[in-house]
């Protein structure tokens, strides 16, 4: 498995545990269609469907104690480009129709910063993102 896939899989697991700890109910992971994928699907405490895109980066803590991110951006959630947004919208709509879900739903992004050496992670949860291009 490529390093970035490994980091992504670890990040998704951390995001899943984080949301379950907040009282969210796990529904599904890695809902795939030929045109895209939703990383995680949950229901929140009000029973609203929440579709989650997880963006993960690994970082190392040098001897100075200051983390250094291994990618160019310290905001991995900014890597969701317009094409990805279109694919996410299509996959979410497909899920809603195929599961006959009516009512409110939301799209969230969880950024996971992994310090694999120290087995530590930081999480940023961005809620109710509007999917526009």
- At 71 the pLDDT is 45
Parse the chain into domains and list their residue ranges.
3-126
> CA 37 to CA 114: how far, in whole Å?
22
Which numeric CATH code is attached to 3-126? 3.40.1350.10
- Give tens-digit pLDDT for 67-84: 544 444 566 666 677 888
Residue 65 has pLDDT above 70, yes or no: no
**103 DSSP 8-state letter:** S
DSSP state for residue 8 in the 8-state scheme? H
Instruction: Assess whether pLDDT exceeds 70 at residue 61.
Output: no
Furthest CA-CA distance within the chain: 53
- Quote the CA–CA distance of 5 and 23 in Å, as a whole number: 27
Distance CA 105, CA 73 (A): 29
Query: pLDDT digits over 79-117, tens only?
Result: 677 888 899 999 999 999 999 999 999 999 999 988 877
The pLDDT value given to residue 80 = 76
| Dist. CA 57–CA 46, nearest whole Å | 31
Residue 2 — pLDDT band, cuts 50, 70, 90? low
Q: Residue 76 class from Cβ within 10 Å (0-12 exposed, 13-18 middle, 19+ buried)?
A: buried
Q: What is the pLDDT of residue 70?
A: 47
What is the value of pTM for the model shown? 0.83
């Amino acid at each position: 498995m490529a390093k970035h896939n490994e980091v992504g899989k670890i990040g998704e697991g951390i995001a899943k545990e984080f949301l379950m700890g907040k009282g969210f109910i796990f529904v599904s992971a890695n809902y795939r269609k030929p045109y895209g994928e939703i990383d995680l699907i949950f229901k929140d405490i009000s029973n609203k469907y929440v579709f989650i895109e997880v963006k993960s980066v690994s970082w190392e803590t040098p001897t100075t104690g200051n983390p250094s991110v291994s990618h160019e951006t310290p905001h991995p959630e900014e890597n969701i480009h317009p094409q990805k947004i279109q694919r996410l919208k299509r996959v979410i709509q497909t899920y809603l129709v195929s599961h006959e879900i009516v009512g409110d739903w939301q799209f969230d992004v969880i950024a996971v910063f992994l310090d694999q050496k120290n087995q530590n992670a930081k999480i940023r949860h961005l809620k109710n993102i509007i999917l526009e291009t």
